[in-house]
Amino acid sequence: MLVLIFLIILLFFALLPLPYGYYILLRFFICFGLIYEVITKTKLDTETITIFIALAILYNPIIKMPLGKPIWMIVNVLTAIYFAYQLYERRV
């Protein structure tokens, strides 16, 4: 749960005009944070695991997805909203 909260905070900081190095670090943290969530959480359903793996591939730090800054901002917000939804589902 703390991992998702940390990732949400990082994603909202990504909306600020920060140096390019931050976005590389962001991709690293999101990719490996999602892999950690998939491996350690035993009660995740198949749909959530599939979405987490797809997001880990999208945010992977090795092969960059050339989406452009405006699209990445939208993707970051949607990802943060999905993480918040996952936190809500786990509490209920």
Residues 6+ apart with CB under 8 A from 20: none
Q: Are 80 and 11 within 8 A, CB to CB?
A: yes
Overall pTM > 0.85: yes
Mean pLDDT of 6-13: 95
Neighbours of 2 (CB within 10 A): 6
Structure tokens at 92: 């209920």
Mean pLDDT of 5-17: 94
Residue 67 has pLDDT above 90, yes or no: no
Structure tokens at 29: 């943290």
Residue 14 has pLDDT above 60, yes or no: yes
Max distance between CA atoms of the chain, in angstroms, equals: 38
Q: Which residue has the higher pLDDT, 8 or 64?
A: 8
